[in-house]
Chains A and B, each alone.
Chain A
Amino acid sequence: MRTGTTFRTSLRALQRNKMRSLLTALGIIIGVGAVIAMVSIGNGAKAMVENQIASLGENVILVMSGSMNSRGVSSGSGGVYTMTIPDMEAIRSEVDGVKAISPEARRSQRVAAGNQNWLTTINGVAPEYFDLRRWPLAEGTCFTERDVRGATKVAVVGATVVEELFNGENPVGGTIRVRNIPFLITGVLTRKGSSLMGSDQDDAVFVPYTSAMKRIIGTETVRTIHVQAEQASAMPDMQAQITSLLNQRHRIGPEKDSDFMVRSQEDIAQTANATSKVMTGLLAAIASVSLLVGGIGIMNIMLVSVTERTREIGIRMAVGAHGRDILLQFLVESIVLSCLGGVFGILVGVGTAKLVTMITGWNTLISPSAILMSFTFSAFIGIFFGFYPAKKAAALDPIEALRYE
């Protein structure tokens, strides 16, 4: 029998049982749709994390107060930060290959301008901070090394603060009051988006770290020191140098818990990637189960259909159908079912991903490879789960099949 004819015969058989065909394909539709939607969500999350890690800057090492120890994360003794400005100066002068370095002295603080006020984050940093984080200014200029030495009252503000306090108008040259101290605004930063932890990085006022520590926070310690390396290849060595230097400075021996952590951007990326890989894998695995269930559904229906059409098979054989004609007919039926399911599943999956983005605002990334893979997989399911019923049909004895009631 010609292949085209086999195809037409199979399609007709499927059409004769429209509802049943649809329900059978539904298993695959849901399976493929779920795989694509899940992988899209996973990939979207991954892309977002990668973006955020890149937004840390280039070749950045973070030296953080507190440590990971047997009791989990501690933020140093009694919640007080442990990094100091002398620590930073020591790193700058004693570790090789430092391109830029800046502390981050943060504090949540209500600020005011005119008759408006707004709760934001004060972030005391060095002038190098903005280059280090690849975070250019949109307006005005940055403060300088001299401002740091003099602990002057100047500030660079984030885009969100401009919106909230100045209705989006250019505030350069104006003042912003922090604890009733007027700070001169010298610059406005470009928009950066949310951080790895999900907070809005543009909702911040940046001042020289000396000003922040003396005038606003009243502290000698900082939470984080950002160190930028000259070269990526030097980073592991620099991490080791920083660790040993700080161990020495903080008198940390084998029996004393460390009070700081040194993490490179790559470390952070690896951890985040590992997490999102596990997440994506898990989601895809769960979704694959529904594909498997869909495949079993196809097999079930094909078996029913072979039984129902035993007499038809007998007649076909009696008038000259080959076993392989029968095999092909049933196999094509199950492949058509699963591939149709695959095509609609792709539509459903892509639609779901888009809907998720619309409703929750999550980033989703539809990956062509996931589409290709789940479609191929659904075709394979058609062959795999259709083969046994088709084989069974082809192996029927013609006279037995003719007599079947």
Chain B
Amino acid sequence: MIKISHVTRTYQEANGRQVRALQDVSLNLEAGSMTAITGPSGCGKSTLLHLLGALDQPDAGEITVNGIALQHATESQRTRYRRETVGIVFQFFHLLPGMTLLENVALPLILGGSGQAVATVRAVELISLAGLREKANRLPHEVSGGELQRAAVARALVHRPRLLLADEPTGNLDSANATRVLDLFHNIHQEGLATIIMVTHSREIAAQMPNHLEMADGALQSMAQGMAY
């Protein structure tokens, strides 16, 4: 379902120096699989997720998701892909500051053309699953980091994406809430509804995942399949 071949992404720094964030990365993932990615800070994990989410373009190589070759897609196809196929939990949450948590969670549905009422019902469902029922009408700056993170998870799942990209979704959570989020992911996985790729710094969490990839210096190190289950 996901086919990454020889992908390279280079950033141009302000002083003209080039940073190789990803270097010749190739990877195949099956539909409905669940994968953890670990690796030291700055090794290119977020960059990889952004490329998979069609937010960014590789300098070289190809990424194909569900038969869509992302770098050849038109801007409107990429927008459609972002809106319908992918759900992203950003490392830095990226909630809209002027909207309540509930409105933030409903936003992907609204952008997809759903009516306010339908979107709100579904958003309340996700907010409750994330344990934020009481905080639903607060603005992002009125809740804790962990609550923001859970709202970001709820937003990524609200439109039932077929590909979930989660960048350290448990980084700010205590173990109880981390478990709650992971259980959510596992449920989705078990229902066979989505392919899940999750970046984490916790080896413990990575060990619970069916697949575990390690990255270093912009490249994949090892591919330990089926380690846990």
Contact = CB atoms under 8 A, between A and B. Distances in A.
B107 interface: yes
A250 interface: no
- Do most interface residues of chain A lie in helix, strand or loop, or is the interface mixed? helix
B107 A317 contact: no
B79 A320 contact: yes
Given A1-B113, A319-B111, A399 B75 contact: no
Interface in A279-333: 311-312, 314-323, 325
Contact of B55 (A1, A325, A402): A402
A318 B75 CA distance: 12
Given A398-B55, A399-B55, A316 B94 contact: no
B96 A318 contact: no
A146 interface: no
Given A316-B96, A398-B55, A402-B55, A321 B50 contact: no
Given A320-B82, A323-B75, A402-B55, A5 B116 contact: yes
A54 interface: no
B88 interface: yes
Given A16-B98, A323-B75, A323-B79, A318 B112 contact: no
Given A1-B110, A1-B113, A320 B84 contact: yes
Contacts of B82: 317-320, 398
A327 to B, nearest CB: 13
A65 B111 CA distance: 81
A399 B76 contact: no
Nearest to B93: A315
Contacts of A312: 96-98
Interface residues of A, number: 22
Contacts of A317: 79, 82
B229 to A, nearest CB: 31
A1 B96 contact: no
A403 to B, nearest CB: 10
B54 to A, nearest CB: 9
A322 B79 contact: yes
B78 to A, nearest CB: 9
B108 A320 contact: yes
29 contacts: A1-B110, A2-B113, A2-B115, A5-B110, A311-B94, A312-B96, A312-B97, A314-B94, A315-B96, A317-B79, A318-B53, A318-B82, A319-B83, A319-B88, A319-B108, A319-B155, A320-B83, A320-B108, A320-B111, A320-B159, A321-B111, A322-B111, A323-B75, A325-B111, A398-B82, A399-B55, A402-B55, A402-B90, A402-B94
Q: Which 4 A-B pairs have the closest CB atoms?
A: A320-B83, A399-B56, A399-B55, A320-B111
